[in-house]
Amino acid sequence: MFVLPWLIGLAVFQLGPMIASLALSFTRYDLISSPVWAGTDNYARLAQDPKVARAIGNTVFYTVLHVPLAIVLALALALMLDRIGGRGAGVFRTIFYLPSMTPYVAVGVLFLFLLNGQAGMVNQFLALFGVEGPQWTTDPDWILPGIVLMSLWNLGSTTIILFAALRNVPAELSEAAMIDGAGSWARFLRITLPMISPALFFVLIINTIASLQMFDQVYAMFFGNQVTQQSSGDAALFYVVYLFQQAFQFLHMGYASALAWVLFLVIALITFVQWRVGGRLVHYEGGERA
């Protein structure tokens, strides 16, 4: 009985729409008229659509850059937080988490200004060192790196998870290693990293999934209105943005459903592979393995 409300919510708001979208992915459906059975046409079309290939390329490029950078930076921030004690600790934790409270759309618009190639603060900063910065928001070669840069603004959740994991590393392990002559790098590599590996594994999975589903900030930056839509072409076309365009701009809801299911399967596959590979690398204190 306790889980009944959750089960009802799951059925109505998650499983129901998922099953419906699976069914719609085999139809031609424009949201207005009744769906017409199309067999596997949408999936066949998807395999030949050059924009899908471009969107996958952009999304994978972003994921490959964003996920390791986000985890390394968040770990660095978490290590810094872990060293701060006393009254200042709470203040710094709050400050580190604050960017995560900023709405995604606001972040997108803010970074359009910061990354502007002619007047943005990023290039002004680079100019201090004599570097002529690129046109982050208008040069197709630099749009994705610019988006990765923007994505590193929001590391609060990852930082807090890793920070909590660091707090749980038993101090006596480090002390024992120190007595045995281990240096700080060796202690980090041999003790800290294995002890926080379940948390690292968790943030790896959730960051990968979030990256593959990237939408809000990119949409606000490059697709939010007619002028921004024209400014980047397909250089900022992420998979979910293309899915949204097909569903609500071009009214191809059947095709968009097929796109959504392919994304779901790809994410499931990547997560499975990560789980299998990660299971061998993650240290669980109780000896359990994934």
Interface contacts to another protein, rule CB under 8 A: 30-33, 112, 116-119, 132, 135, 137-140, 226-227, 229-235, 244-245, 248-251
Considering the complex, what minimum distance in angstroms separates the CB of residue 9 from another protein?
19
Calculate the alpha carbon distances from 142 to 55, 136, 145, 222 in Å. 16, 5, 5, 13
Of 204, 198, 209, whose CA–CA distance to 71 is shortest? 204
Cβ atoms of residues 243 and 237 within 8 Å: no
Closest approach of another protein to the CB of residue 172, in Å: 55
Give the separation between CA 36 and CA 20, rounded to whole angstroms. 14
Contact between 156 and 96 under an 8 Å Cβ cutoff? The reply is: yes
Give whichever of 31 and 176 is closer to another protein, judged by the CB atom: 31
Nearest distance from C-beta of residue 229 to another protein, angstroms: 7
Report the residue number, 119 or 179, with the smaller CB distance to another protein: 119
83 exposed, middle or buried (CB, 10 Å; 0-12, 13-18, 19+)? exposed
* Nearest distance in Å: CB 151, another protein: 20
**What count of Cα atoms within 13 Å lies in the side-chain half-sphere of residue 169?**
25
Nearest distance in Å: CB 144, another protein? 13
Closest separation in Å from C-beta 139 to another protein: 5
Closer by beta carbon to another protein, 4 or else 119: 119
**Pair 71, 156: CB distance under 8 Å:** no
Measured from the CB atom, the residue of 82 and 139 that comes closer to another protein is: 139
How many whole angstroms from its chain centre is CA 64? 10
| Nearest residue to 115 via CA among 90, 134, 92 | 134
Closest to another protein by CB, 62 or 142: 142
Our CB check for another protein shows the closer of 59 and 232 to be 232
* Element counts in the chain: helices (H) and strands (E): 16, 2
